[in-house]
Structure 1
Amino acid sequence: MSKSDTVLKINILVAPLNWGLGHATRCIPIIQALLELGFNPIIASDGMALILLQKEFPKLKCLELPSYNIEYPEKESDFKFKMLQNIPGVVDAMLAEKKLVKKWVSEYNLKGIISDSRFGAYSKKVPSVFITHQLNVLSGNTSWLTGKVQRLIIKKFDECWIPDSEAKPNLSGKLGHLKNPSDSVKYLGPLSRMVKKKVPQKYNLMVLLSGPEPQRSLLEEILTSELKSYTGNIIFVRGVVQEERTIVKVDNCTYYNFMTSEELEQKINESDLVICRSGYTTIMDLAKLQKKALLIPTPGQYEQEYLAKRLHKKEMLPFAKQENFSISDLEKVENFNGIPEIKEEVNWKQLFCLFEGE
């Protein structure tokens, strides 16, 4: 039996968190790399993240994990209180998740686990990896505590993969970098499912929504109202993954409920300007595609606010607050340089040796 035949039997569980779509989408290049190197990825998630990955990889086995059911407040001032309210539900889901994963290790003969921010998706019996861009978790005056808790959770895993560059320039700043990281921390370089293409520009503006409710819907309402006075050609991706894809054209704006990775890549490449959240996965995609954008961080989400302010300060991308957004904010973009491309190739073969016992 050849080595390639042996590798084909190596089952790896890939389990992204269902919180917006960023965790799922940045797992797409990981799943593709596993397939290219002869591994057999098994996908595990819940909600829209699971539906998205099922559509991207219809031939792969998909399993459902318990939902963390993280709820967002409507008011920014209620964010921290709401996150505290979420903790008991997250702990319950994490314990149920851990129990399921333990069962799957045996049932599916798993040889490794890659968890993107799912705290209970690990096993002492097989190599387990935690993916995050946050070694420091920002939470205002309690950041010291949330960062410490995050790092304690990471210690349960064999390795921690950071989708960013270790040295400067990097995209995550203090979120993904410690003064003295442990040996288990490995920097992959930015991860993106996108490829930059030279194509004719068809759209003046692309709106790319994602993230948990109710903030996704609130921003959609604001943008739909404000963009009525915009005269250019708009493509509007609502970020709602459903069984059926819908396309609705209203005047100069074409609305999609969601797009596949291939289609999204094409449409972003064909757009002059993007309006989007300042989620980390989106920022990695913008860097890869070299697109200028206006960022609108999710209100109260410290991580997105930090990333938006950091890019603004470095004169890369401007941002606007959701509650104050005006169509005139788009004029700011001309004065910013965009994110410089970070060309760093991931050595997947070396990383995946962890699962081969080499």
Structure 2
Amino acid sequence: MQKPKILVVVLNWGLGHASRCIPLIAALEQQGFEPIVASDGLALTLLTKNFPHLKSYRLQAYEIRYSRKPVFLKAVLALQVFSWLKHIYFDKKQILAIHKKEKLSGVISDNRPGAALSCIPSVYLTHQTNILGAWQPIANMLHWRIIRAHSHCWIPDFTHKLAFAGKLSQHTTSKQVKIKKIGLLSQLKADTHPVTKKHISILLSGPEPQRSELEVILLKAIEFSELPVVLIRGSDKKLKLDKVPSHLEIIDFATRTQVQQVLESSHFVIARSGYSSLMDFCALGLKAFLIPTPGQPEQEYLASYFSKKGWTASCTQEAFTWRKLEELKNIKGFPTFEAPDFKALFSIFRA
């Protein structure tokens, strides 16, 4: 008997969307489905590295451009709206063609707007049902138009009153789409046996040029580290470094297994405050120092939100020094991790 085919469509905007889809894809296989992956760029590379046996499709890249100066970021992104609409149209055509070829039983889209199909269950995965920033009303109106094009919206957040995403996951009810908080999604699992702490981890991710900007800052700062440092760059571009310090190990592009091994043996991790990374740190109970991407209200909010709760320490990119890491002595860590009930979630694809 042929397994039901589920297309998992992922936005290539940093690696967070891809990494949080890893547990979804693994669970689909465990529950007797045949996942098919569709994305582009580094997101597709990460997914095919973790699931080399699965069929995959390369979608047309959105080619989002960013400003080096955070103050111009919103304007630069706004000027690309018509380009995005064009790419959404191309996505719709490609995904409909994949459906006709594969005879899909469902689609799960992680923030890829053009993946909705009205003829089969279509899920939109997002933690940000309330977009922050200067253009909040317009952004939310447009985002909800995208969400309502799907039959279901899954929010990776706690199902009880404590909101892991804070006000980002606040939402109103909708008759057009079934909205459900599903629990946190992490590609990592805590080891039941004690793991020896060996080093400090740096986990870089997110769009360029800000990923590289932070990399330069941290590479200069690690000379003050008294402990070994492992840097996971999250990039396929070669690092131009005249001399690698003896206490630094560099990994350009890590699989789920490598990320697990590096993070769980860390005293703490330095990283962006991307939502997917935060879910991973929560899963392992890690101490984390957060440096939000400049000009991204979501990351700035999450860094502040977690710091105020005493779960992490944080500062702006321009204010970072190695001495700032001393603030980690006072943090209490993350709340209890809640895994999704995948069997119940995937029941919509068996109807």
Q: TM (normalized to structure 2)?
A: 0.95
Match of 2:142 in 1: 149
Match of 1:89 in 2: 83
Distance 1:59 1:284, change over 3 A: same
Match of 2:155 in 1: 162
Indicate the SS of the match to 1:13. strand
How big is the shift at 1:179?
Answer: 5.0
How big is the shift at 1:293?
Answer: 0.8
Q: 1:175 aligns with which of 168, 171, 175?
A: 168
What is the CA deviation profile of residues 157-188 of structure 1, one whole-angstrom value per residue up to 9, with x for unaligned ones? 00000011133322101111225466610111
Q: Which runs of 5 or more residues in structure 2 are unaligned?
A: none
Match of 2:315 in 1: 320
Indicate the SS of the match to 2:164. coil
Match of 2:215 in 1: 220
How big is the shift at 1:202?
Answer: 4.3
* Aligned residue runs from structure 1 range 1-358, under 5 A: 5-6=1-2, 8=3, 10-140=4-134, 142-180=135-173, 184-197=178-191, 198-241=193-236, 250-342=245-337, 344-357=338-351
How big is the shift at 1:203?
Answer: 2.8
Aligned-partner Cα distance in 1 for 2:197–2:251 = 16
Question: What is the aligned-residue RMSD (CA, Å)?
Answer: 1.6
Distance 1:270 1:181, change over 3 A: farther
User: Given residue 146 of structure 2, which amino acid in structure 1 is its aligned partner?
Assistant: I
Q: Decide whether the 8 Å contact of 1:51 with 1:242 is kept in 2.
A: no
Q: TM (normalized to structure 1)?
A: 0.93
Percent identity of equivalent pairs: 39
Please say which of residues 291-300 and 160-169 is displaced more in the overlay: 160-169
Indicate the SS of the match to 1:323. coil
User: Given residue 45 of structure 2, which amino acid in structure 1 is its aligned partner?
Assistant: I
Aligned-partner Cα distance in 1 for 2:83–2:333 = 39
Q: Decide whether the 8 Å contact of 1:234 with 1:253 is kept in 2.
A: yes
What is the CA deviation profile of residues 100-134 of structure 1, one whole-angstrom value per residue up to 9, with x for unaligned ones? 11111111111110000000011111111000001
Aligned-partner Cα distance in 2 for 1:226–1:346 = 38
Q: Which runs of 5 or more residues in structure 1 are unaligned?
A: none
Q: Decide whether the 8 Å contact of 2:38 with 2:44 is kept in 1.
A: yes
Q: Number of aligned residue pairs: give it.
A: 345
User: Given residue 274 of structure 1, which amino acid in structure 2 is its aligned partner?
Assistant: V
Q: Would you identify which runs of 4 or more consecutive aligned residues in structure 1 move more than 3 Å?
A: 179-183
Aligned-partner Cα distance in 1 for 2:172–2:94 = 36
